[in-house]
Amino acid sequence: MSLLEIQDLKVHFETDDGIVKAVDGASFSVDEGQTLGIVGESGCGKSVANMTILGLTQSPITSIEGKIMFEGKNLLEASPEEMQAIRGEEIAMIFQDPLTSLHPFYKVGSQLTEAIHVHRDVSKQDARDRAIELLELVGIPDPARRMRDYPHEFSGGMRQRVMIAMALVNDPKILIADEPTTALDVTIQAQILRLIQSLQDRFGMAVVLITHDLGVVADTANYINVMYAGRIVEAGTLDEIFYDPQHPYTWGLLGSLARPDRPRVKRLSQIHGQPPSLLAPPQGCHFRPRCPHEFDKCKQTPSLDPRSGTPAHLDRCWLPPEKKRTLRVIQGDQIGLEAPAA
Amino acid sequence: MLRYIVRRVLWGVVLLFLVSAVIFLIFYVFPNADPAKLRAGRQANPRLISQIREQLGLSDPIWEQFLRYMTQVFTPFDWFGASQHGGTGPLNFGNSFQSNTPVKEIILDRLPATGLLVAGAVVFWLLMGLPVGIISAIKRRSALDRTTMVTSLAFISAPVFWLGLVALYLFASDVGLIHIFPGIGSYLDADTFLAKCWSLFLPWLVLAAATAAIYARYLRSSMIDVMSEDYIRTARAKGVGERTVIMRHEVRSAITPIVTLLGLDIGLLLAGNAILTESVFNIPGVGREIVVAINRSDLPVIQGIVLFGAFFIVTFNLIVDIAYAYLDPRVRYQ
């Protein structure tokens, strides 16, 4: 059984303009020690889905359906107190912008120990020791002294390290990292990803890595979900997604990746158009309006099924697998949605 | 931190100095009336006027008058002929044209009433404004929120003199519909501290009403801004309880700008901004004194009160700056 299993999750927001279907029937699971990559462009529902796991999207305008099973318990039916006990203790989360994710008025040390005290009945000194230990682990020099500093005295990369330390002080079973490197310099990005991976090896927690950048998950993820407009459109192992992608949206993502290992192209290829409004998504396949390979069947919604011949490789595209394998090649052996413009 | 405080204090002193100079300019260099004539009163004759002119040193060169005035206000020394022209300082603004009492004495006599009025009002408006602001923000769009926000708008819009009269009409023990609180002029009869406080009960409410309403609305919007901050989401993600998220994380951030408001408001009220409340309830405070002084063109009194007011405003600004640096660690390093 999986550690965390999301079944047909729907998260809708009732706004003045109508119902925003931010997540529209997503199912996925996270196994112990696994790294799951969730990839998709901004606004595809990947953050909302994961914040819902922690109960952070609740508001009077939210309606949530489906099941979030964690260790045999449906988190959507848990009481606020039960959720509070799970947040930060069983499932921890780090966010995109480390510059704004720490409280500007409290010292880093007190923010770290607060995370310990809310879950553990330990002495101040023990909490402090644990916090220093974690700061050291995430690579902050002179951690005992840095405990007394305020967040604005840390650089962006250092603040993300602090966030990671804060997330891990209670040894969570799952770490959800929501675009942890997006706001950082490219050089720092690699460091942070490597840090997360090494901590994962050490603590053995599962990691859900949310990103818009396939390159970020290429090194780290075992399994990848590609999300588009509130739905998972393709799910498979790292190799399946990179070498046998089934959904045209995945081709588009792969084609738009800058690849230093390939001959340089004049222009990176792009996916034309804009993601659909989640207020009124297109009927059938959501990717239909941007897909050059659309045909009449696409007006029916394809379910997430194994279509490529491998049982664990799922996708939502009506094209026959043989046809996909010819259509997706745009140049030599390069995969993409459309050949880059000359 | 110490450097920051020293810098702020020095700035405060410079500012007070500049304000004094401006006040001097207004009252001595561009007078719309001749101080000597005003001082001479009804039985003025040319001889008396020139005698007074000599006594006040008004025929000396402007720069000498200025230096003497600054000496009298800020130092205890007998420079620039201070002792011959009105006596030495510090805080010597001369004598009232009307009663011939030293202005310093008049102000020190009126300050306690204003101080007590302001202190009580501050307590009232904080006790009313802050909880209402916090609760409205948490229960945003609820019936409670809408009711308190509309009510607060009414209090903000109501002029103090009107609110004061309505309060008297409703609750004053002499003329009110319900005889509960002491009415007009009761402060003058009160001799114990408690009696004074009791006599100020209605003025406190009236003076606090508008400010409490402003604070409630301000804190509400400030809270709502803070609620959507990333670090609040972080606190929740850590598993911090809802109550702690609100009190320790949200209110802590949202209340910081309120401190600025509070400092400025206290400074302004002590400077005489409680003028309307003091007039309506006949409280012998600084605000009412300046009205009297203006009506009688009592220049030294006006000048003294204005400078005292400037002193309070500068001082409370200073306190605000220091408190802010204490509350927001990011400020200390700028």
Domain boundaries, given as residue ranges, for chain A:
4-221, 250-335
For residue B292, the distance in angstroms to the closest alpha carbon of chain A comes to 47
Residues on chain B touching A87 (C-beta within 8 angstroms): 236-239
The letter for the amino acid at B257 is P
- Model confidence, pTM: 0.84
Separation in Å, CA B208 to CA B161, B182, B262: 13, 17, 12
pLDDT at B7: 87
Does B238 sit within 8 Å of A166, measured CB to CB?
A: yes
- Burial (CB < 10 A; 0-12, 13-18, 19+), residue B41, is exposed
State what percent of residues in chain B have pLDDT above 70: 98
Domain A4-221 CATH (choose: 3.40.50.150, 3.40.50.300, 3.40.50.720, 3.30.1300.10): 3.40.50.300
Those residues of chain A that have pLDDT short of 50 are none
Residues on chain A touching B236 (C-beta within 8 angstroms): 54, 56, 87
Please count the residue pairs, one from chain A and one from chain B, whose beta carbons lie less than 8 angstroms apart: 76
Separation in Å, CA B152 to CA B52, B120, B275: 53, 20, 22
Tokens of A311: 């049982």
- Name which of B145, B232, B238, B330 to mutate to probe chain A: the one with the most chain A Cβ atoms within 10 A of its Cβ: B238
In this structure, of A231-240, A261-270, B188-197, B311-320, the range with the lowest mean pLDDT score is A261-270
- Burial (CB < 10 A; 0-12, 13-18, 19+), residue A104, is middle
Mean pLDDT over the full length of chain B: 86
Instruction: Tell me the ipTM for this assembly.
Output: 0.88
Q: pLDDT at residue B31 above 70?
A: no
User: What is the DSSP track for A274-332?
Assistant: -PPPSSSPPSSSTTGGG-TT--GGGGSPPP-EE-SS-TT-EE---S-HHHHHHHTEEET
CB-CB: which of B231, B328, B330 is closest to A101? B231
Look up residue A26 and give its DSSP letter. Answer: E
User: Residue B47 — φ and ψ, nearest 5°?
Assistant: -65, -45
CB-CB: which of A80, A92, A103 is closest to B231? A103
A217-255 tens-digit pLDDT? 988 899 999 999 999 999 999 999 999 999 999 999 988
Alpha carbons within 13 angstroms on the beta-carbon side of residue A320 total 2
pLDDT at B262: 92
pLDDT at A211: 92
Residue range B229-253: average pLDDT?
A: 93
Compute how many other C-beta atoms are within 10 angstroms of the C-beta atom of residue A42.
Answer: 10
B91 pLDDT tier (thresholds 50, 70, 90): confident
| Contact with chain B for residue A163, Cβ under 8 A | yes
B119-173 tens-digit pLDDT? 999 999 999 999 999 999 999 889 999 999 999 999 999 888 899 899 888 888 8
- Burial (CB < 10 A; 0-12, 13-18, 19+), residue A81, is exposed
Q: pLDDT at residue B334 above 80?
A: no
Higher pLDDT pick, A67 / B5: A67
- Burial (CB < 10 A; 0-12, 13-18, 19+), residue A227, is buried
Q: pLDDT at residue B84 above 80?
A: no
- Smallest Cα–Cα separation from A245: which of A237, B170, B102, A20? A237
pLDDT at B53: 79
In chain B the domains, ranked by start, together with CATH numbers, are 2-74 (no CATH), 103-333 (1.10.3720.10)
Higher pLDDT pick, B91 / B234: B234
Kind plus residue range of the DSSP H or E element containing A126: helix A124-137
| Contact with chain A for residue B240, Cβ under 8 A | yes
A74-116 tens-digit pLDDT? 999 999 999 999 999 999 999 988 889 999 999 999 999 999 9
Q: How many residues does chain B have?
A: 334
CB-CB: which of A115, A150, A152 is closest to B238? A115
